[in-house]
Amino acid sequence: MNDDAPYSKAHYQYVCEIYGDPTQVLAKYDTIFIDSITVAGRLCFSHCQNQPESRSERSGKLDTRAVYGMQGREMMAWLTHLQHIRDKNVIFVGILDERSDDYGRSEYSLQIEGSKTGRELPGIVDEVLTMTTLTSDEGVQFRAFVCHTLNKWNYPAKDRSGRLDLIEEPNLGKLLEKMSGGVAQADRPMAFVNPTEVVIAEGEENNA
């Protein structure tokens, strides 16, 4: 039996008295929008710094490793809890950090305290989209969602619905509609291009 159960139940009842029954409050919403997970990570980190478990038993000083460990566990427990809300769309917004590796290539990662959340979050959610500014062949800049894992810009992305194109209009309403009712990739005609044949064909053309 969990010793915290009576306290949790009393706290839940207290919150319901202030904000109302969550079942009735949330029934009118289809989407829960969290802006931003970066800020949520900072708030969680601040909370963990003030917990007794984050201090050394001998000296009483703050143990940074314990803080990061607790922050990672708390964030993942929160995200997993939200993941199991089956009748709502849950959207997280985060800031994307850009770094360059030793070869000058751009690498992108979620800006959030600790490494655990940023590393494990893509495996929990169904969709990972990067909103960015791209340039067309005519030199015109436009904003777009990058939706596929394999993209030439190396942006974080994945589409578990199988209904999104590589680039989509940055409109969440249209995106949600397409994910729920669009044509799945499995039902689209596949045009496989063998890279070896392309290289051979280009070589023959250059020798002609």
Decide if 44 contacts 51 (C-beta within 8 A).
no
Instruction: Tell me the per-residue pLDDT of 117-130, one tens digit each, with 9 for 90 and over.
Output: 888 888 889 999 99
DSSP E strand stretches across the chain? 31-35, 89-93, 96-100, 106-110, 127-128, 130-135, 141-146, 158-159, 167-168
Structure tokens at 147: 């939706």
**Cα gap 96→109, rounded to integer Å:** 6
Angle between helices 116-124 and 37-49 (to 10 degrees): 130
Structure tokens at 141: 């800049």
> Exposed, middle or buried, 109 (CB in 10 Å: 0-12/13-18/19+)?
middle
DSSP code of 136?
Answer: -
pTM of the model: 0.72
Decide if 96 contacts 130 (C-beta within 8 A).
yes
Delimit the domains of the chain by residue range: 1-125, 126-186
Instruction: Tell me the per-residue pLDDT of 35-92, one tens digit each, with 9 for 90 and over.
Output: 889 999 999 999 999 988 888 878 878 889 999 999 999 999 899 888 888 888 899 9
- 95, containing H or E segment: none
* Residue 157 predicted with pLDDT over 80: yes
- φ/ψ (deg, to 5) at 32: -105, 120
